[in-house]
Amino acid sequence: MKTTVTFRNNVKIMGEGTETLLFGHGFGCDQNTWRSVIPAFLKEYKIVVFDYVGAGGSDLTAYDDERYSSLDGYANDIIDICTELQLHDVTFIGHSVSSMIGVLAIKMEPQFFKKIVFIGPSPMYMNEEGYKGGIDAGDLDDLLDVMDSNYLGWSRMVAPLIMGNEEKPDLAEALTASFCATDPEISKKFARVTFMSDNRKDLSSLTIPSLTIQCEEDFLTSREVAEYIQQHTANNTLIMLETKGHCPHLSDPKGVVSAMKGFI
């Protein structure tokens, strides 16, 4: 029988090992985004995947404006999953915004976690004096305004830019479909929480080993952001992949698996 958190976040458990890898998807995605990476770890690890509320097969009725008004609410979902499943020595793998959600979860309840992997992370997406996150405040406002007025059109425009890899149009089509499958109203709120967040100060709280996996060309983040994370985070290792896009676990799964195996 499914327990409350397991049902709420559509938690799935697989694999033959005892050490846990907990995978957190990025904005606009769901647990299916890990489909090309998970097979490489099934023999040696217990794999736990889930959907944030509003994505995939999650319980949409569980969405609460107050809880999810900041990334802390999503971090609490991770803590709830670890608590309910009685996980320990977890390696958390977070894509995009899930990287910082993972940092917040570890800051809240460090006893659950052993290591963390960032894939395409950013502690802050906006540029400001002395920090280049990648997006000017005015451009971000415009992007969010377009999302508010035409979410499906925004998804079809932005998903290919995020995916990159124009020579693999099927990947962009799959990401567009994932964007369009999420609840639009929840997605709009999650987008604002994601792109308006500033977690730079939280990096110093992370003391467990961490790995940053970053593509050379990325619409949402960059080598400069990855190097910022490395400089401001203890025990962080940076691996740059010679590939394009914000979703290397889909466009370059072999590169991501190789980097992860060398770390975990």
Active site residues: 96, 218, 246
Report how far apart, in Å, the C-alpha atoms of 108 and of each of 46, 175, 217, 225 are: 23, 31, 33, 24
Phi, psi of 101 (to 5 degrees): -60, -40
Closest CA to 55 of 23, 30, 80, 24: 30
Q: In Å, how far are 13, 156, 168, 243 from 179, measured between CA atoms?
A: 24, 8, 18, 22
Backbone φ and ψ for 207, nearest 5 degrees, come out as -115, -20
DSSP classification of residue 63: -
The Cα–Cα gap between 223 and 60 comes to 36
CB burial of 11-48 (b: ≥16 within 10 Å; e: otherwise) equals beeebeeeebbbbbbbbbbbbebbebbbebbeeebbbb
Q: What are phi and psi of 55, to 5 degrees?
A: -115, 155
Write down the residue that tokens 């709280």 correspond to: 205
Q: Cα separation of 72 and 101, whole Å? A: 7
